[in-house]
């Protein structure tokens, strides 16, 4: 088991945290390193509650034995900007992190009943395949969260769940939605309470699913239709020869 390490987590009730039973979850082909989790957020405001939510999530994930990285989307160009492309420094950074990651956390404010454009732009820069056939999202785990300035809502997480499926990710069942976030965060931190507990729930579940999926990913995402296509391509090449 990975034993949790308590640091900078004043809202966490230590007696309620259980170690992750890696032996019960990991595949025979598990790589053995810490689960690699990339966290994305959807607001550049100085006091961004979607960023605060992933910062809190990263602390919990670190405590549960993960390696975490946050992507700063400042300077990320629009997808259709003719002056931008895969070689743009921010795009290249995001794609490199997505390839590195074994799981992700997406956290967006809800704006006009939807995720923010900044959140969608980050997701849109993650292609289904890269040069060399690398698929930066397929078979990786995903946890989704949203923050709202008003009453409880699930519009943003519902949209992100659809996108996670489209990106062929394993989106975990649990999710987090924090209403009136400006009232919930105190000095940049989320205090002990139902919304903090839900984030802990989501991060625990993400770690468990990541252990469960990695080492088995290639088998789980293996598709009949792609095997048929590959066989047809081989047949065509051999026939030409």
- Residue 9 falls inside a structural domain: no
- Residue 100 falls inside a structural domain: yes
Residue with tokens 């100085």: 46
- CATH number at 38 reads 3.40.50.360
- Reading the chain (241 residues) residue by residue, the pLDDT tens digits are 655 566 688 899 988 998 899 999 999 989 999 999 999 999 999 999 999 999 999 999 999 999 999 999 999 999 988 888 888 999 999 999 999 999 999 999 999 999 999 999 999 999 877 766 667 899 999 999 999 999 889 999 999 999 999 999 999 999 999 999 999 999 999 999 999 999 999 999 999 999 999 999 888 888 888 778 666 676 676 666 5
Strands 176-178 and 141-147, bridge-based pairing = parallel
- Residue 67 falls inside a structural domain: yes
What is the domain count for the chain? 1
Q: How far is CA 117 from CA 41, 57, 61, 162, 181, in A?
A: 11, 22, 26, 16, 19
CA distance 218 to 204: 23
Query: Do residues 128 and 138 lie in contact, with contact meaning Cβ atoms separated by under 8 Å?
Result: yes
- Residue 169 falls inside a structural domain: yes
- Does the global pTM surpass 0.95? no
- Residue 7 falls inside a structural domain: no
For residue 194, how many other CB atoms are within 10 A of its CB? 8
Query: Which stretches of 48-140 are DSSP H helices?
Result: 49-63, 89-100, 117-124
CA distance 209 to 226: 25
- Residue 106's beta-bridge partner residues? 40, 144
- Residue 1 falls inside a structural domain: no
Residue with tokens 């990285």: 69
- Domain range holding 87? 14-240
- Residue 8 falls inside a structural domain: no
How distant is the alpha carbon of residue 127 from its chain centre? 15
Query: Do residues 91 and 77 lie in contact, with contact meaning Cβ atoms separated by under 8 Å?
Result: yes
Residue with tokens 């088995």: 216
Please report the pLDDT score of residue 96 as a whole number.
Answer: 94
- Residue 124 falls inside a structural domain: yes
Please report the pLDDT score of residue 132 as a whole number.
Answer: 62
Please report the pLDDT score of residue 14 as a whole number.
Answer: 87
CA distance 27 to 24: 9
């Amino acid at each position: 088991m990975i034993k949790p390490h308590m640091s900078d987590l004043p809202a966490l009730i230590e007696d309620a945290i259980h170690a992750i039973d890696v032996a019960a979850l990991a595949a025979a082909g598990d790589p053995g390193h810490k689960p690699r989790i990339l966290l994305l957020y959807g607001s550049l405001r100085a006091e961004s509650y979607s960023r605060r939510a992933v910062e809190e999530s990263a602390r919990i994930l670190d405590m549960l034995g993960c390696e975490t990285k946050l992507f700063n989307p400042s300077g990320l160009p629009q997808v259709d900007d003719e002056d931008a492309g895969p070689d743009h420094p921010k795009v290249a950074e995001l794609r490199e992190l997505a390839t590195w990651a074994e799981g992700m956390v997406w956290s967006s404010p809800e704006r006009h009943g939807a995720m923010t454009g900044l959140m969608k732009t980050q997701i849109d820069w993650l292609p289904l395949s890269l040069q060399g056939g690398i698929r930066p999202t397929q078979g990786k785990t995903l946890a989704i969260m949203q923050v709202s300035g008003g009453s409880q809502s699930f519009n943003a997480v519902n949209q992100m769940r659809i996108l996670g499926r489209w990106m062929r990710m394993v989106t975990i069942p649990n999710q987090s939605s924090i209403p009136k976030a400006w009232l919930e965060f105190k000095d940049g931190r989320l205090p002990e309470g139902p919304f903090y507990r839900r984030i802990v729930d989501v991060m625990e579940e993400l770690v468990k699913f990541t252990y469960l999926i990695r080492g088995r990913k290639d088998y789980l995402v293996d598709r009949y239709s792609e095997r048929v296509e590959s066989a047809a391509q081989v047949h065509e090449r051999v026939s030409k020869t």
